Structure 1
Amino acid sequence: MKAYKCRCPNVDWLGSIANCIYENGNSTKEIHHAYKHVATRCLQKAQLHYSVKDFENWQQNATKYIEPVAKDDYTTVITHPVEVDIEAYRPYYIGFRDWNRWISLCSRLGWGLVGFWFGIMGVTGILHYSHIVPNLREKLVPKRFKQFVYKYLTIPKVPFSGGLTRMEFFISSLFIILTVLSCSINYTLDVSVYMNSQYFLTLDQVSFRVDLLAFSLMPVVYLLGLRNNPLQYLTGLPHSVMIKYHKVTCLVFVILAMIHSIIWTVDACKEGGYKSWVEWYWSWGIAATTIACLMIAQSLKFIRDAMYETFLIVHQLFAIMLIVSVWFHCASLGWMGWVYSMAASLSWDRLCRIVRILVNGGINSAKIESFNETVLKLEFSKPKCYKFYSGSYVYLHFLSPWYLCWQSHPFSLIESIEDKGKLVVYLKCKRGITKQLAKTVDSCSGSTKILIDGPYGCFPLPQLQDKEIPKIICVAGGLGISSLLPILQKSELELANHRLIWMINDLTYISWMKVTMDELAKRGLVIDIYFTKGSATDGSAIMSYILGTDSSQTDIKDEESEGKKGQYRVHYGKPDLDNLLVMELNSDKKDTKIYCCGPGVMNDQVRKTICKQINLKSERSVELTIENHEW
C-alpha cells in the first residue's frame, strides 16, 4: 500500500504507465477508463489528484525520453520512462483478464437472483390478470388443481417460519438454495502474478462473489419493503406477503454482507491489521455492514411490539444511512447502479406518499367519537379523487399532537351508511399516537386534522369481484369486522346465502357497527354474534344494543332478532369455530369464499379448518382470504 506514495509523485513512473495504457488499449474509452483507475489509486493511496488530461500529457512527454528496460534498471534508480516488456507484461494481462471475466460471472449470478424474484412476480401477475380473458384462468389452472394448491400450499402455515405459508416457504427456500448455489459454483481461477497465493486467491474470490450477490439484492430488499410497491399491482399480492419476502431477502443480504466483511477483516489482519487499510471506502464498508446488522436486530418482533413507533423512525433512518454508507463505499469501486436503484426506490416511495396526500386534499378534518377508553371512531369526508373499494385501506397521519405527525398507521375503511360521502375508521387505542389521540378527545367527541395517504391494497379487477360467488362467509374477531363489512357492503348479490360470524368481548362493539349491520341484515345477511365473556343472562343487554331499546323491555325467547329479510343470532361464550365452519360449509355445495380478520390464533384456527374441508374430489371451490395487516 505504501508503494503508491512513492510511485504517484514520480513523473517517470506516471509516463511509463500512461504510455503502456496508450499502447495496449483497444479504444479511447478503454484508455481513459484505465487512466481514471490509476488516478483513483493515486488519490486513495497518495492523496494526489490527477485528471485524464494529465495522463495524456505524461504519455506524450514520455515518448520523447522512453527507453527499453535494461538489466541494470532492476537494481538502480531510473530517471527516465521505460517501455513495457511484452513478455513480462503478458502474464499480468492474462491474470487480470481472467479475473475480470470471473468478476463478470459474479455480476451475472447477481442478476440471476434479481431475475428469480421478477420471474416469481411475473408468473403470479400472469395468473392474477388471467381473469381478464374469459375462461383463461380455468385453462391455465384447473379448478381441482387450484383446490390442491389452496389445501396444501397457500393456506397452511409452516411452523416456526415467521408466519410463512407453505407456498411462501417453498419460494423462499428456492431463493436461498439459488443463493447458496450462486455462492458455490465456478471457483476455477488459477494462481497468477496478480494473485500469487492460493489462500488469498480463494479469500478474494469468495469475498467478491458474496459481495456482488449482496449488491444485487439491495434494490430487491428495498423494493419489496416499499409501501408503494409497484409489484403489488402487477401480482395482486398483498403488502403483508411482500413484507415476508422483504424479510427473507434482507436476511440473506445481511449474511452475504457479513461474510464479505469477515473475509476482508481476516485479510487485513494478515497484512498488519486495520492500520494498513486507511482508505475511506473501507470505513464506509464497515459502517454499511454494521447498519445492516442493526436493522435486522431492531426488526425482531418482540422489539417491534414493545416500541413500534420508535422502531419505525429508527428503521427508516437506518434505511437512509445504509444507502449513504454503501454509496461512499462503492463510489470508487464501481457497481453504483445498484446503489442508484436503492436511492431511486426509496425516493419513489416518498414521492408517491406526498402525491397521494396532496391528491386527497392535503390537510383534512376528521370527527372523533370515543365509545370507551380503548376504541375511537373517526369519520371524514371522502376525498373527491378517492376510489373506494372493498379491501382498501389508508395510512393516516394525525397532526395533533404535532410532534407525532411523521407517524402513520394503516386503517381499514367502512363507507358510511348515513352519508355516502363519508368514510369511517375504527381504531383501538394502545400506546403511542393512538393513545395520544384519545387524550385530545373531549368527553365523547372532538375533531382533529389528518393527512390521508391512500388508498392502498390491490385494485380489484372486475372479474375478481365477488359478484358471482354464491356464498361468502366472513369470520371477524373484535375490530377485525371493520375489514370485512366493506366486502359485504360491496356485494351486489342477495346476502341471504352469506354469513357473518363476529366474536366480541365488549357489548359496546355492537352499537358502533349497528347502522351498517342493520343495512346488511335488511339485505338478507344472517349475523351470528358471539359474546365470548357473557352468558345467557346477558341476552337482554345484547338485544337492547341490537334493537336499540331498553333492556328491561326486551323479551328474549329464541335469542334471535328478525330483520326484514336477515336476522341476528346471539350466542354466549367462545364458539367452536371448527364445528361452526364445518356446518356452514356442509349446509350446501355452493362455491364458497371465506374471509377472516382477527387475532392470529383465530386466523390460524380458521386456516386449519378450511384445509381439512377442501375436498379435491369435489367440483366445489373453497377459498380463504386472511385480511390482516400484521407482519
Structure 2
Amino acid sequence: MRTRNPDFLFIFSTLLTTATSLVIYDSPLAEACTSFTRTLDWGCSDNAGHMNVNIWSCQCASIEWLGTVTNCIKKYGNSTHEITHGYEHIMKRCKAKANLTYTLSDMLAFKKNATYYIEPYSEEDTTNVLQHPVSIPTTNFIYYYRSYFDFAEAIRLSQRLGWGSVGYWLGVVGIAAIWHWLEIFYKLPPSYQKFITRYLLLPHDKLLSMNTWEWIVCFFFCIEVLLSCIINYDTPLGAYLATQYYKMIDLVSFRTDLIGFSVMPVVYLMGTRNNPFVLFGGYKRSQMIKYHKIVAWVLFTMAIIHSCIWTRYPIVEGGGYSTWVQDSYFQWGIVGSVCLGVLLLQAFKLFRDIMYQVFLVLHQLLAILFIVAMWLHCNTLGWMGWVYSLVAIMALDRVCRVMRILQNGLVNEAQVECHNKTVLKLTFHKPKFFIFFTGCHVYLHFLNPWYTCYQSHPFSVVKSINYDGKLEIYIRVKKGMTKRIACTNGTTKVLIDGPYGTISRHQSDESDSKFDKIIGIGGGAGITSILAIMNQIPEGTKSRYYVLWLTNCQSDIECLAGPLAGLAKKKNAFIEVYDTSKEEDESQVTNEKSAFSSDSNSRHGISEKECSLINFHRQGRPDLSKHIQSITKESSKVKIYTCGSSKFVRSVDVIAEGLMDTGKFVEYHNENGEW
C-alpha cells in the first residue's frame, strides 16, 4: 500500500510550533520582584493606565528600578537558568508594555551598576521618590513569590488540562488506527467485526447522522472538557489573587481560554484535506468534519465564557469598559469571538444548502481572520505557539494541495459530455503519478472561466469502461459552477488535487472472496461511488456482485450507460436499475432496450445486447428490504456498500441492521460523504 507523504508534515509542524506557548507569568521570580516594586515611589504618575501600561513605561525607563529588579532576580534566583529566564521576562515585558528593547547584556549591566548604589528598603521608600536601587527584604519577597508561584502553578495546570484535550483526540485516533490497521494486516474474528459494525458503526436516526462510536467519542470529549473546567481552584489568596472574587474569575478565565487555545489546532487540523487523522486513523473526511464541528462548538463555548468574564469585570470593577476596549488586544479578542460565532452559524446545513459557494469562501476567509485576530490578541500576552500552529496547519495544507496538483501534471484537459443539462461526464487521462485506488476522490479546480479557479469540489473517480488509461467523473448539474460547465462544448481545463481517501482491506480482492454476496446500493448520483468500487470485480471470483440503482433522472441513466453495461458484462455481476420518476403499476416493466436511447448507446460504443444485460424497471421505488432479503436468503456472509442522500442511506442502514439481526455476518460500508 502506498501512502501520501505530505500528510506527515503536519505532525512535526504542529508539535514544534506549540512548544513555546507559555510566556506570560512564566517567571514567578521576576513577577515577585516587579510586583513588590509597585509599592515603592519611582516618581511615576498615579494613573497606572490599563494593564499598568503607564507604570511599565515609567519604570522600564528608570535605571534605579531596573537595578532594583535585576538585583532582586540575581539575589533570589536559585539557578543560572532561573535568573536568566527572569531577566528575559523583564526584557519581554518592557518591550511589550513600554516599547523599550533591552538585551541580556543590558540586564547584567543594570545589575552590576546597582551594586554600587543599592540601599536597604525602608518605609519611607513608599512615599519618597527613589533616587537609588533598593534591596528587597527576604520576608517581602517570599510573600510575593509564593503568590505568583501559586498562580503560575494554576496556569500550568490549565495548560496541562488543555494538552489533555489534545491528547484525548490523539487517543481517539490511536484507537481508530489500531482497528484500521488490524483490518488491513490481520483478519479479525467475524464475531468482533459483527459486534463493532452492529453496535458501534451504524448511524442512529435523528441523531445528527452519527453512529454510536462517534457519539461516545464526542460525549466523553465534552465530559473531559467539563471536568477540566471545574476541578482544582484551590489556589490560596495572595498578593496577586487578593480577593476570592478576582481569584475565581481570573482562574476560570485562564482555564477556559487555555483549553480553548489547546483545541484550536485540533479544529483546524480536522478541517483540512491533508489530514493525518485520516491517513493514520482510517477516518473518512465526512467523519472528521463531524468531529470538527463538535470541537469547534467546544472552542466557541470556551471563548464565550472567557469573553463574558472580561466584559463584566471592566464594567463592574475594572475601571470601565470604555477604558479596556481602547486596547488593541481587547478589540481583537472581540473580533476573534465574533468570527467563531459567525463561522459556526454559517456552517449550518440550511445555510450551506442555500449558498454553498458563499459558505466555502466565507468559511475560509473567517478562518484566516480568526488567526489574525488571535495573533494580535495574544502577541503581548503569550501562548503564541498555539497561533503559530494554526498558521502552520493552514499553510502546509495549501502546500500539500499544490504538491498534489503539480504531481498530477498541473493543468489537465477534460472532455466534457453533458446529458440534457442535468448530468456532466468528465473524462481525462490518468496522470502519470496519479495513484488510483478504489473509493478515492479528487478535488477539481475548473479554469474556465479563470476567476473560478479558487473553488474546488470533491468528486468520486471511476475507471473508464475499458480502462484505456482514462478516468471518469460524473457530476450533477446544479447552480453556479456546474451550470456554467454544462454550457461548455468539447473540453475544459482543470487542476486535479488528489487522490484523497483511505485504503482498507474491504477494498481488496482478498476481502471480497470471503463473502457470498457483495451488494452495492446507490441512490441518484451516489451510484458513481458504488461503480468505482464494483468496477474492481476480480477475474474468477466465486462471489456474486449485485448493483441496485434507484434514480428519478433519465439523463443519469443515459450518462452511465457505458459503465453499467461494462460492469454487467462481467461474470457474476447483476445490475438492476429502478427509474423512480414515475409511480406505475408494479407489473409494468419496460423492455430493456427502452432504458437507453440508441443515440446514447452509439456514443458509449455499447450494443443492444450489452444493454439487455441490465435489468431496467420503471415501477417506482421498490421494496428494498424485501428485495435484499431475497438476494441474501441463502447467504451467510454479505458485504453491502451504499451511497446516496442521507435519507436514502439511512433506509439502507435499517436494512443492514435487519440482516445482522437474522444472524448473518454483514460487513457494511456507508460511502456517503455528506456532512
- The equivalent residue for 1:554 is none
Q: Which amino acid is 1:220 matched to?
A: V
TM-score (norm 1): 0.91
1:64-79 equivalence runs, <5 A: 64-79=116-131
Between 237-246 and 328-337, report the one with greater CA deviation: 328-337
1:521-560 equivalence runs, <5 A: 521-523=568-570, 524-534=572-582, 535=584, 539-540=589-590, 543-546=593-596, 548=598
Q: Which amino acid is 2:366 matched to?
A: F
1:278-317 equivalence runs, <5 A: 278-317=326-365
- State the shift of 1:412 in Å: 0.9
Distance between the aligned counterparts of 2:474 and 2:596, measured in 1? 19
1:258-280 deviation line (CA, Å, top 9, x unaligned)? 11111122222221123433543
- The equivalent residue for 2:72 is 20
- State the shift of 1:404 in Å: 0.6
Q: Which amino acid is 1:224 matched to?
A: M
Between 269-278 and 480-489, report the one with greater CA deviation: 269-278
1:411-452 deviation line (CA, Å, top 9, x unaligned)? 11111114521111110111121112123x24xxx2110000
1:50-96 deviation line (CA, Å, top 9, x unaligned)? 44333322211111110001232233222111101111111111111
- State the shift of 1:474 in Å: 0.9
Question: Contact (CA 8 Å) 1:110, 1:212: kept in 2 or not?
Answer: yes
Question: Contact (CA 8 Å) 1:470, 1:592: kept in 2 or not?
Answer: yes
- The equivalent residue for 1:447 is 491
Residue 451 of structure 2, aligned match among 380, 389, 403: 403
Distance between the aligned counterparts of 2:614 and 2:422, measured in 1? 29
Between 532-541 and 269-278, report the one with greater CA deviation: 532-541
Distance between the aligned counterparts of 1:419 and 1:119, measured in 2? 41
Residue 628 of structure 2, aligned match among 569, 573, 581: 581
- The equivalent residue for 1:611 is 657
Distance between the aligned counterparts of 1:164 and 1:467, measured in 2? 27
- The equivalent residue for 1:506 is 553
Residue 373 of structure 2, aligned match among 310, 313, 325: 325
Question: Contact (CA 8 Å) 2:183, 2:504: kept in 1 or not?
Answer: no
Question: Contact (CA 8 Å) 2:593, 2:612: kept in 1 or not?
Answer: no
- State the shift of 1:481 in Å: 1.0
3-state SS in 1 of match to 2:498: strand
3-state SS in 1 of match to 2:341: helix
- State the shift of 1:514 in Å: 1.9
Distance between the aligned counterparts of 2:631 and 2:157, measured in 1? 57
Question: Contact (CA 8 Å) 1:158, 1:169: kept in 2 or not?
Answer: no
- Percent identity over the alignment is 40
Distance between the aligned counterparts of 1:303 and 1:569, measured in 2? 37
Distance between the aligned counterparts of 1:151 and 1:48, measured in 2? 65
Distance between the aligned counterparts of 1:325 and 1:343, measured in 2? 12
Residue 479 of structure 1, aligned match among 509, 522, 525: 525
3-state SS in 2 of match to 1:502: strand
- The equivalent residue for 1:244 is 290
1:246-261 equivalence runs, <5 A: 246-261=292-307
- The equivalent residue for 2:434 is 386
Distance between the aligned counterparts of 1:569 and 1:401, measured in 2? 39
3-state SS in 1 of match to 2:560: helix
Distance between the aligned counterparts of 2:134 and 2:232, measured in 1? 38
Question: Contact (CA 8 Å) 2:67, 2:114: kept in 1 or not?
Answer: yes
Tell whether 2:512 aligns with 1:467. yes
Distance between the aligned counterparts of 2:123 and 2:579, measured in 1? 98
- The equivalent residue for 1:515 is 562
3-state SS in 2 of match to 1:233: helix
Residue 152 of structure 2, aligned match among 80, 90, 100: 100
Distance between the aligned counterparts of 1:247 and 1:288, measured in 2? 17
Question: Contact (CA 8 Å) 1:158, 1:166: kept in 2 or not?
Answer: no
- State the shift of 1:564 in Å: 11
Distance between the aligned counterparts of 1:227 and 1:539, measured in 2? 45
Distance between the aligned counterparts of 2:148 and 2:599, measured in 1? 87
1:432-475 deviation line (CA, Å, top 9, x unaligned)? 21112123x24xxx211000001111033588554323311111
Distance between the aligned counterparts of 1:204 and 1:65, measured in 2? 39
Question: Contact (CA 8 Å) 1:392, 1:455: kept in 2 or not?
Answer: yes
Between 498-507 and 167-176, report the one with greater CA deviation: 498-507
3-state SS in 2 of match to 1:490: coil
Between 197-206 and 457-466, report the one with greater CA deviation: 457-466
Distance between the aligned counterparts of 1:130 and 1:24, measured in 2? 56
- The equivalent residue for 1:186 is 232
Q: Which amino acid is 1:367 matched to?
A: Q
- The equivalent residue for 1:196 is 242
* 1:64/1:98 CA distance change after superposition, 3 Å: same
Question: Contact (CA 8 Å) 1:222, 1:345: kept in 2 or not?
Answer: yes
Between 203-212 and 264-273, report the one with greater CA deviation: 264-273
- State the shift of 1:14 in Å: 1.9
Distance between the aligned counterparts of 2:129 and 2:468, measured in 1? 90
Distance between the aligned counterparts of 1:629 and 1:198, measured in 2? 51
- The equivalent residue for 1:602 is 648
Q: Which amino acid is 1:629 matched to?
A: G
Question: Contact (CA 8 Å) 1:478, 1:504: kept in 2 or not?
Answer: yes
